Amino acid sequence: MSSTPNTGAQGACEPRFAAVRRVFEEHLASGREVGAAVAVVIDGDPVVDLWGGWADQAASVPWDRDTMVNVYSTTKGVTAICARSEEHTSELQSPCNLVCRLLLEKK
């Protein structure tokens, strides 16, 4: 048995999402991604949960299911969608007002 860790795609993927697995594997194999993970949940059911590659640039730590990563700029798209959906109402005066209203509703 080899002592080299398996750095290809690992995890579960429903057959109807085989294309997601294929593209994920291609990105890992091509070197476009050093390491990555992708998860898709539909109606509360996980349908894709894949990970692979390396957790560091030196390729010394294999990416595993629980590898922690920094996440940047993920809320910009969601904020834009919310602002766009509120644009047609008289309630939106500025993006700051929308964010404040949504935060206050959570309290």
CB 51 within 8 A of CB 10: yes
The DSSP output letter for 63 is -
One-letter amino acid for residue 58 of the chain:
A
| Whether 30 is catalytic | no
Q: Is 68 left (phi over 0), alpha (psi -120 to 50) or beta?
A: beta
List 2, 3, 73, 90, catalytic entry: 73
DSSP-assigned states of every residue in 16-46:
GGHHHHHHHHHHHHHTS-SEEEEEEEETTEE
What residues are labeled active site?
Answer: 73
